[in-house]
Amino acid sequence: MKVEKFLKWSILDELYNERGDKFASNILKEMEKQNKELKTVVIDEKLTRKIKEYVTDKEKQNELLGLLNQYELGTNKDDDFWNKMYYKLGIYDCLELKNTLKSKIEEDDDKDEKNVFLDESSDDFWDYLNTNRMKMIKRNKKYKEFMSKREKIKEDNPNVRTFLEDREVIELTEVELNAVLDIFEIEGDMETIKTAETFKLGAREMLIFLKQMGLI
């Protein structure tokens, strides 16, 4: 169902009305317990007092207060309209998210990646993390590009390879020093990708766990 049709779904209007009034009532009761009140109420009271203070003519007073009342009613209706739309949008987004998560899990199922760390409790956590993270990194095209770029710099600068890989203290030219700096920058970008893939791995773990629990 497209979002445009979804936002017109009348059953959601009924659900919003049923839930909205009760929810608002509970919030106002809780605010009363904490001696809090809505700012608009305070401002409305101050504005009403100012109108009565500066406008002594009763007829004009009533006219201004009537307009203020109409403005408040119109504002409330507008707020209610937008709240209803955002309420529907929230439900729509939740359903879309659920579908996305289910699709992702089904995609991982096809790749035979159903196990999570809890299923691999005999293994060391870091071994598990690195093994599964590397599976994801190997599929990352940008990471592969950085690896190739780093290797190319080392091939073109043998002293740089010796300095970085063998940890030998050797004298480097200005060009070689710049090559070392380039490699450090590339490895920084690679670490950023590793961090992102670690985050995705954690998300994947949670998705599979939720599926195992029957929550999605």
pLDDT band at residue 9 using 50, 70 and 90 as cut-offs: low
Each residue of 188-203: pLDDT tens digit?
Answer: 888 888 888 887 777 7
Q: What is the mean pLDDT of residues 197-214?
A: 73
pLDDT band at residue 150 using 50, 70 and 90 as cut-offs: very high
Position 56 scores a pLDDT of: 82
pLDDT at 117 exceeding the cut of 70: no
CA distance 205 to 199: 10
What φ, ψ does residue 191 adopt, rounded to 5°? -65, -35
Q: Which residue has the higher pLDDT, 181 or 205?
A: 181
pLDDT band at residue 151 using 50, 70 and 90 as cut-offs: very high
Among the listed residues 148, 149, 146, 169, the one whose alpha carbon sits nearest the alpha carbon of residue 159:
169
Position 122 scores a pLDDT of: 46
CA angle (215, 21, 46) in 5-degree steps: 130
pLDDT at 149 exceeding the cut of 90: yes
Position 181 scores a pLDDT of: 92
Position 8 scores a pLDDT of: 65
Residue 139 near residue 196, CB atoms below 8 Å: no
Domain ranges of the chain: 3-110, 117-212
Tokens 């690195």 found at: 130
Tokens 């009760």 found at: 22
Q: What is the pTM of this model?
A: 0.41
CA distance 158 to 184: 16
Which residues are CB-neighbours of 44 under 8 A, at least 6 positions away?
68, 72
